[in-house]
Amino acid sequence: MKTIAINQFGTADEFHEINLDQPALTADTVAVAIHAFSINPMDIAARAGYLQSPFSDNWSFPLVLGWDFSGIITEVGQNVTQYHAGDHVFGTLASDHPGNAGSYAEATVVDPAAITKIPAGMSFDQAAALPIAAGTAYQAIVQNLKVQSNDTVLVQGGAGGVGLFAVQIAKALGAKVITTASPAHTELLQKLGIDQIIDYHTTAVADVVSTVDAVF
């Protein structure tokens, strides 16, 4: 399979195309033909060599990086019953995936627990951008902060990769959402129904916000 790999850590100039063996399917995994992948800050840190154990425990060069992906299932292991060949899915690979099993490739093999089907109307590109950023926001807003309807939530950086999902999840839960953002993102956040947008360039949050139920 074609991959985008590195032979050593460094700048983006280290990337090159190379053919590697596709990861082997097991009885408990599914094979996915990758249609899109996304690049998160952890990808950049990995390429520069900043990520250590457990991320690097199974790595070897040439190294295929990448975690988030979307694509079409091509084969399922004999123990997998919830997915079938032809399903459109997205997900994220294990943090310590083997060196040839990153998402910067034509295909990968993944645990079914780490994927889900792409909703109708969502493109492969859109789906590939979801797992790490949206998953982080969901864990923070729903699982950790346990935001409820009518709570007031402050999200720092509501137009960022994670923040943009966090403000939408909080609004979907019925919360009042306050966020910080630059003026360039005000219109977008207004369209999402954000209740209060603070320009952090000119205004200190503590000067205009006194009481909230949760802060992310």
Regions of the chain with pLDDT less than 50: none
Check residue 32 and give its pLDDT. Answer: 98
pLDDT one-digit tens code per residue, 112-154: 999 999 999 999 999 999 999 999 999 999 999 999 999 999 9
Check residue 131 and give its pLDDT. Answer: 97
Check residue 114 and give its pLDDT. Answer: 97
Check residue 213 and give its pLDDT. Answer: 98
Check residue 92 and give its pLDDT. Answer: 97
111 to 25, 115, 168: CA distances (angstroms): 10, 7, 28
